[in-house]
Structure 1
Amino acid sequence: MKNMIIPIFFLFSLLFSSSLGSIQDFCVADYSAPQGPAGYSCKDPAKVTVDNFVYSGLGVPGNTTNIIKAAVTTAFDNQFPGVNGLGISLARADLAACGVIPFHTHPGASEVLIVIEGTLCAGFVSSANNVYLKSLNKGDVMVFPQGLLHFQLNAGNTSALFFVGFNSPNPGLQLLDFALFKNDLPTELVAAASFLSPAEIKRLKAVLGGTG
C-alpha cells in the first residue's frame, strides 16, 4: 500500500499543476477566428476591452407583431463575446397579450426564468411524460431542466416580460412546431410519425413555411 502512495500523489500533482497552469481569467470570443466544438476561440487579451463584457441589447423591447405574438432577444456568445467560456448566458422575452413561446428545448443548458411584468402560464414535460405546470406572477422564478420540452404563455390581458438565464454561453434551441412543420419532410411521413391528419399537417406547413 505504501508503494502506491507516492505514484498516486505524483499523478494528482501533475493533474492539478496542469489544470491550474491553464486557468485563464476569461476567453472573450474572437469572431474572426474559426468556431470549434468547444465554442469560439479566445480573443488576444491585449485586444480585450471593457466593452466586451457589456451588452445593452436586453434593454430594448422585442417586436411582438408575429404569429406567436412574442419576441426573444438573446445575449449568447455569438452576440455577447464576454460570456464565451464562462458557462452562462441570458435572454429577454416580450409577450403581447395571448403571446406564447411554443414548446421548445435547449439541448445544451438548463434555464431559470424570472417574471418582470405580467402573468405567465409556464411548464415543462419530463422524460416520463409528467407535466409540471404553474401560473407565475411578477417576481416568481421557475427552472426548466436541460433538454426537456417547455413553454411560456402570457396568461394576462397586458404585455408580459421575463428574463431567463442559462448555464451555457450557447444553450441551443429547437422549436417543436418548427421541427415538425417547417421542413421538407413528405407530409405522409410526418403523418405516420405524428398521428396527425395529412390535411392538418399541410395546413401547418403552409403557416410555418414547410414544404412536402
Structure 2
Amino acid sequence: MVVAEDFFFPGLNKPGNTSNAVGSRVTAVNVNQIPGLNTLGISAVRIDYAPYGINPPHTHPRATEILVVVECTLYVGFVTSNPANKLFTKYLYPGDVFVFPEGLIHFQYNVGKTNACAFAGLSSQNPGVITIANSVFGSDPSINPDVLTKAFQVEKDVIDRLQAQF
C-alpha cells in the first residue's frame, strides 16, 4: 500500500517566514512529513534566519545534528553536559559544516545584515526538540517562580518578566 508520495516532501527550496520574535524559521522534514522515513533513522531541516536572527538554544534528545551553511555567516555553538559545561563555538560561512552531538544544548545566530540559510541532517526520523527558554519560562502551568528565582539566582521580578514573554 506504499506509494511514492510516502517518500517525498516538496518545498525545502522555499524560505520560511522569519518575521517572529527570534527571527528564524525551522522547516522540519521528519517522519511526520515523510512516512517513508519510519525506521530509517534520518530526518532533515531547513533553517532560515532574518538578519541577526537566532535559532535559540535547544536540544534534540534523540539525534545528532549536522549543519551545512548555504548563505551568510552563522555563529554556532554547543555546551557540553555537567559538570564541565564547556562551550564550543565557531563562525561558519557558506559550505562550512558543524556537528551538534545528540542531547547537547546548541544554537545558531545570523551575524550578518542579510538573510541566512542552512540545512541540517539529523540522526533520527523523529529527533524531537526542546527549546530551553520556552520550556523553562513557558511551561503550562508555569514553573513556580520560587523554583526559578533560586535556580537562576535572580529576583522574582526578573522571572515574572521572563515568564510573561512566553
TM-score range, shorter chain: over 0.9
Query: Which residue of the partner structure matches residue 103 of structure 2?
Result: 147
Query: Which residue of the partner structure matches residue 28 of structure 2?
Result: 74
Which stretches of structure 1, 4 residues or more, deviate above 3 A after TM superposition? Answer: none
Query: Which residue of the partner structure matches residue 143 of structure 2?
Result: 185
Q: Deviations over 1:115-157 (max 9, x none)?
A: 0101000000112211110000000000000000100000111
**Which of 43, 50, 54 is the matching residue for 1:89?**
43
Matches within 5 A, 1:111-190: 111-127=65-81, 128-183=84-139, 184-190=142-148
Query: Which residue of the partner structure matches residue 16 of structure 2?
Result: 62
Q: Deviations over 1:69-122 (max 9, x none)?
A: 110000011111111110000001000001001111001000000001010000
2:51 counterpart letter in structure 1: A
Identify the structure with the greater helix proportion: 1
Aligned residues with identical type, % of pairs: 44
Root-mean-square deviation (CA), in Å? 0.9
Query: Which residue of the partner structure matches residue 162 of structure 2?
Result: 204
Query: Which residue of the partner structure matches residue 39 of structure 1?
Result: none
Number of equivalences:
162
Question: Residue 132 of structure 1: SS of its match in structure 2?
Answer: strand
Distance in 2 (alpha carbons) for counterparts of 1:166 and 1:57? 18
TM-score scaled by structure 2? 0.94
Structure 1 unmatched runs, 5+: 1-46
Question: Residue 58 of structure 1: SS of its match in structure 2?
Answer: coil
| 1:60 Cα deviation after fit | 2.0
Where relative contact order (Cα < 8 A, 6+ residues apart) is larger, the structure is 2
